[in-house]
């Protein structure tokens, strides 16, 4: 196909260079060093994704003699309140121990005691699966590994559309986010690992990028899959975390497991009740917040251990934050508040539907990490299904030749892009527009929900979709890139409102609390709400699908 754009040919294209994408690239090159693997990353793959640097635990590991995959499925089913396809979670747990040992062989640090036992925490309803990690360079280890094995990383580039030939994916159209240059990637198979929708609701501090997860995650993977015809589910699971005020950084399990005191606004102790994000948020809504963490009673050795984990491994920026606030763990306290609302597969139940082989409903298209629906899979799910997706994508690529994208699909995109670039005199900056979109998401999609609010959300998203093409000022390539991100945020908000309207019950309180349907209704709603694209972007088609249970003997 002749094209004015640069072209890249590959066997396996991985969209997203975070934890899942990096692991997928590593596994694909391990399987076949001769195949061409390209990783497309919006930021820089060395420090991108939700695990931009280090990590303090591998959340789900079925350590032999301590826990089993079967127990994990049982435990996670409780956490998901029954809305969980069991085979994918079983397979993730089944491979988790081997995955952890692979990380150990790469030099990733999992501390052991004098008897050689790992430190395993209980953070799930049943069983102990969370293995303590102390690795401040986790992401750089992964990035170096995939580059050393020969994967080609294309940084500062955003995938804009997937090309399809019938029901088969055949590549992608992408843009350099700094120069605006378009280029085409021909691929025999594609893995979506572009994260969830972290930039969704607006944080209380009003800072567009002050979100819990990687702020570059704007639902790109969800929207790429949706427009290509794949099935999505779980968009009514609208997460709000309860963590450190204004920086939205984790701290709870690092401190609770080491003896901190958790108190509410009335100085009532809550750490003895095995608190969770959910229970703390509910207490906050009951006007007993904010919750606070106190560490000053702890030995100096323990406080130093917490500081070491937090400041070198989890989020090094926290050290500057606490210093700026004048907070010393030895004398002060840490205030907790609700975060912005967001959508995520790893921490929640939102994503592209996949089976045990990471296959989506589109041939040659696979998903892993927060983009995929492996319910509450966390980092373990990202790593394991990154590997699984690479195995399936490699096999598919080996069996099929390259197909060219439809020129009409490229022309349609060019026409739309040309229109965007002509918006040089728009009255509203893209930053102002994004602020308003996300403020309205807070108003109408953040729980608690009801029919009126959700219908208003849909009305606003239709309006925003139009105003993005008429009122927003696009002055340069950076504005254009941000416009594509905001378009995806609007699309995700539409999907979330539709799914939330459809599920006429309350479940996963408070994350899908319908004030007009306050009760959980297992008889009618113990099933998936599945979304696919209709004739237009705003035409969301809704179906229901049964929960997939484990077969006897598995």
Each residue's pLDDT tens digit, 164-191: 998 999 999 999 999 999 999 999 999 9
The answer to whether 424 and 473 are in contact (CB under 8 A) is yes
In degrees and rounded to multiples of 5, residue 513 shows phi and psi of -100, 110
Averaged pLDDT for residues 476-498: 97
> DSSP states of 227-265 as a string?
HTT--EE-TT--EEEEEETTT----HHHHHTTT-EEE-T
Which of 119, 135, 151 lies at the terminal end of a domain, its last residue? 135
For residues 377-403, average pLDDT: 93
Cβ proximity of 263 and 270 under 8 Å: yes
| Structural domain boundaries, residue 308 | 240-339
SS3 sequence, 192-227? ECCCCECCCCCCCCCCCCCCCCCCCCECHHHHHHHH
Look up the CATH number of the domain holding residue 448: 1.20.58.100
What percent of the residues of the chain are helix, what percent strand, and what percent coil, each to the nearest 5? 40, 20, 40
In this structure, what DSSP letter does residue 314 have? I
pLDDT digits (tens, 9 = 90+) for 260-273: 999 999 999 988 77
Label residue 400 by pLDDT band (50, 70, 90). confident
Q: What is the pLDDT of residue 538?
A: 77
| Strand residues in 245-384 grouped as ranges (E) | 261-263, 292-294, 333-342, 351-352, 365-367
Q: Quick one: which of 253, 273, 262 has its CA closest to 334? A: 262
Are 306 and 416 found together in one domain?
A: no
pTM: 0.96
- Any domain includes 554: no
> 397, 394, 387: which is closest to 356 by C-alpha?
387
Cβ-proximal residues to 277 (8 Å cutoff; 6+ apart), any chain? 241, 242, 243, 252
Half-sphere exposure of 388 (CA within 13 A, CB side): 28
Instruction: Please give the Cα distance from 425 to 470 (Å, whole number).
Output: 10
Q: Are residues 335 and 428 in the same domain?
A: no
Pick the last residue of a domain from 320, 339, 358.
339
Tell me, yes or no, whether 525 lies in a domain. Answer: yes
Domain identity same for 541 and 412: yes
Alpha-carbon distance of 55 to 312, in angstroms, equals 9
Partner residues linked to 542 by β-bridges: 531
Residue 428 domain flag: yes
Nearest to 437 by CA among 356, 494, 364, 510: 494
Residue 401 in this model has a pLDDT that exceeds 80: no
**299/302 Cα distance (integer angstroms):** 5
What is the DSSP secondary structure assignment for residue 509, as one 8-state letter? T
Which residue among 322, 339, 356 closes a domain? 339
Same domain? For 519 and 414 the reply is: yes
Q: Is residue 493 part of a domain?
A: yes
User: Residues 364-369: what's their mean pLDDT?
Assistant: 98
Q: With CA atoms as reference, report the closest residue to 77 among 508, 378, 517.
A: 508
- Is residue 536 packed enough to be buried (19+ CB in 10 Å), middle (13-18) or exposed (0-12)? exposed
Q: For the chain, how many structural domains are there in total? A: 3
Residue 414 lies in a domain: yes
Contacts for 320-325: CB closer than 8 Å, 24+ residues apart:
321/244, 321/246, 321/247, 321/249
Mean pLDDT of the chain: 94
Between CA 504 and CA 515 the distance in angstroms is 10
Look at residue 123 in the predicted model and tell me its pLDDT. Answer: 82
CATH number of the domain within which 334 lies: 3.90.700.10
Residue 109 lies in a domain: yes
Tell me: pLDDT of 18 over 80.
yes
Instruction: Determine what percent of the chain is predicted with pLDDT higher than 90.
Output: 83
Q: Using an 8 Å Cβ cutoff, are 171 and 159 in contact?
A: no
Q: Is 114 exposed, middle or buried (0-12, 13-18, 19+ CB in 10 A)?
A: exposed
Asked if residues 390 and 397 have their Cβ atoms less than 8 Å apart, the reply is no
Residue 3 scores a pLDDT above 80: no
pLDDT band at 553 (very low <50, low <70, confident <90, very high): low
Identify whether residues 419 and 541 lie together within a single domain.
yes
Q: Is residue 453 part of a domain?
A: yes
The end-to-end CA distance of the chain, in Å, is 47
The confidence score (pLDDT) of residue 1 equals 46
**Helix or strand run (H / E) with residue 105:** helix 86-105
Please state, in angstroms and rounded to a whole number, the distance separating the CA atoms of residues 296 and 332.
7
The answer as to whether 275 is a domain residue is yes
Interstrand relation of 168-176 and 182-192 (parallel, antiparallel or unpaired): antiparallel
Confidence (pLDDT) at 2: 57
Specify whether 449 is located in the same domain as 324.
no
* pLDDT tens column, 429-460: 999 999 999 999 999 999 999 999 999 999 99
d(CA 515, CA 530): 22
What is the tens place of the pLDDT at every residue in 137-161?
A: 999 999 999 999 999 999 999 999 9
């Amino acid at each position: 196909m002749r094209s004015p754009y640069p072209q890249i040919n590959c066997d396996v294209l991985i969209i997203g260079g975070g934890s899942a994408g990096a692991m997928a690239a590593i596994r694909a090159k391990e399987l076949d060093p001769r195949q061409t693997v390209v990783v497309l990353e919006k930021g820089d793959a060395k420090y991108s994704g939700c695990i931009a640097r280090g990590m303090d635990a591998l959340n789900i590991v079925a350590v032999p003699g301590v826990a089993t995959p079967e127990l994990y499925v049982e435990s996670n089913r409780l956490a998901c309140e029954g809305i969980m396809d069991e085979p994918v979670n079983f397979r993730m747990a089944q491979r988790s121990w081997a995955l952890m040992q692979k990380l150990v062989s790469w030099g990733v640090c999992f501390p052991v005691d004098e008897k050689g036992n790992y430190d395993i925490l209980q953070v799930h309803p049943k069983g102990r699966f969370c293995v303590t990690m102390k690795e401040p360079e986790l992401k750089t280890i992964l990035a170096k590994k995939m580059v050393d094995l020969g994967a080609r990383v294309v940084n500062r580039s955003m995938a804009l559309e997937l090309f399809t030939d019938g029901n088969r994916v055949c590549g992608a159209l992408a843009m350099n986010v700094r120069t605006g240059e378009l280029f085409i990637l021909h691929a025999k198979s594609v893995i979506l690992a572009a994260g969830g929708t972290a930039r969704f609701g607006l944080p209380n501090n009003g800072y567009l990028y002050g979100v819990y997860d990687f702020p570059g995650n704007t639902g790109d993977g969800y929207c790429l899959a949706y427009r290509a015809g794949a099935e999505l589910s779980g968009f009514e699971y609208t997460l709000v975390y309860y963590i450190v005020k204004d920086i939205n950084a984790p701290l709870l399990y690092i401190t609770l497991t080491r003896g901190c005191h958790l108190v509410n606004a009335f100085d009532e102790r809550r750490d003895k009740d095995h608190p969770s994000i959910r229970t703390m948020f509910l207490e906050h809504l009951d006007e007993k917040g904010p919750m606070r963490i106190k560490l000053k009673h702890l030995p100096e050795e323990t406080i130093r251990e917490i500081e070491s984990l937090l400041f070198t491994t989890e989020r090094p920026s926290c050290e500057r934050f606490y210093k700026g606030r004048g907070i010393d763990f030895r004398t002060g306290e840490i205030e907790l508040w609700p975060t912005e609302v967001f959508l995520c597969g790893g921490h929640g139940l939102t994503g592209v539907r996949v089976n045990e082989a990471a296959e989506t409903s589109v041939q040659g298209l696979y998903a892993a990490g927060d983009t995929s629906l492996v319910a509450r899979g966390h980092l373990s799910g990202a790593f394991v299904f990154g590997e699984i997706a690479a195995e399936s994508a490699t096999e598919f690529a080996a069996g099929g030749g390259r197909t060219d994208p439809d020129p009409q699909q490229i022309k349609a995109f060019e026409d739309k892009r040309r229109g965007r670039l002509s918006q040089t005199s728009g009255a509203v900056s893209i930053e102002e527009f994004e602020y308003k979109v996300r403020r309205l998401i807070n108003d109408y999609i953040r729980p608690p929900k009801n029919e009126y609010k959700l219908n208003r959300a849909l009305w606003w998203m239709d309006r925003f979709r139009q105003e993005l093409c008429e009122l927003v000022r696009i002055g340069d390539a950076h504005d254009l890139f941000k416009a594509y991100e905001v378009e995806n945020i609007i699309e995700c908000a539409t999907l979330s409102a539709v799914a939330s309207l459809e599920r006429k019950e309350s479940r996963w309180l408070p994350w899908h609390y319908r004030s007009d349907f306050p009760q959980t209704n297992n008889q009618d709603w113990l099933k998936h709400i599945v979304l696919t694209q209709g004739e237009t972007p705003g035409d969301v088609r809704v179906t229901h699908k049964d929960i997939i249970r484990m077969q006897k003997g598995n």
